[in-house]
């Protein structure tokens, strides 16, 4: 095995100080990133816990609603009224389908495309 000889580079005092400063600022940046990741993981874990609790409460709520629906008497409507409800639902569906699409997003996309073209 060959022995390695260290290589020495002469640096001025100001260069050494700048290198040291850059190295320390890089270390600070790395520590900040690690701290941010740690905070993110903590917040993400908290978010998942809250979501799980919310899902449990929603399931309980659905069970309670089903129990209440079972306890309430069922209403029997005459066929003439049932048809009217179906017609109203059909009208609502048609209205929803016929609503115009919001073009503001498309206008914004076109404006951005025009800006990009003008930059070229």
Looking at the fold, whether 64 and 112 belong to one and the same domain comes out as: no
Please report whether residue 62 resides in a domain: yes
Return the structure tokens found at 88. 């109203």
The parent domain of residue 64 ranges over: 11-74
Q: What is the pLDDT of residues 39-83, one digit of tens each?
A: 999 999 999 999 999 999 999 999 999 999 889 888 777 776 666
Answer yes or no: are the C-beta atoms of 11 and 19 closer than 8 Å. yes
Asked, for residue 42, whether it belongs to a domain, the answer is yes
| Residue 20 lies inside a defined structural domain of this protein | yes
Q: Residues 92, 69: one domain?
A: no
Q: Is residue 28 part of a domain?
A: yes
Verdict on whether the full-model pTM lies above 0.85: no
Tracing tokens 């609502």 back to the chain, one arrives at 92
> Given a cut of 90, is residue 1 above it in pLDDT?
no
Do residue 65 and residue 96 come from a single domain?
no
Residue 27 lies in a domain: yes
Domain count, the chain: 2
């Amino acid at each position: 095995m060959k022995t390695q000889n260290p290589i020495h580079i002469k640096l001025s005092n100001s260069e050494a100080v700048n290198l040291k400063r850059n190295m320390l600022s890089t270390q600070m940046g790395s520590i900040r990133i690690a701290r941010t990741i740690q905070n993110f993981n903590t917040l993400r874990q908290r978010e998942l816990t809250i979501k799980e609790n919310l899902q449990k409460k929603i399931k309980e709520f659905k069970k309670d609603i089903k129990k209440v629906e079972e306890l309430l008497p069922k209403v029997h409507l005459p066929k003439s009224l049932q048809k009217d409800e179906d017609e109203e639902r059909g009208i609502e569906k048609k209205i929803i389908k016929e609503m115009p699409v919001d073009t503001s997003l498309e206008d914004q996309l076109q404006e951005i495309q025009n800006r990009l073209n003008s930059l070229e």
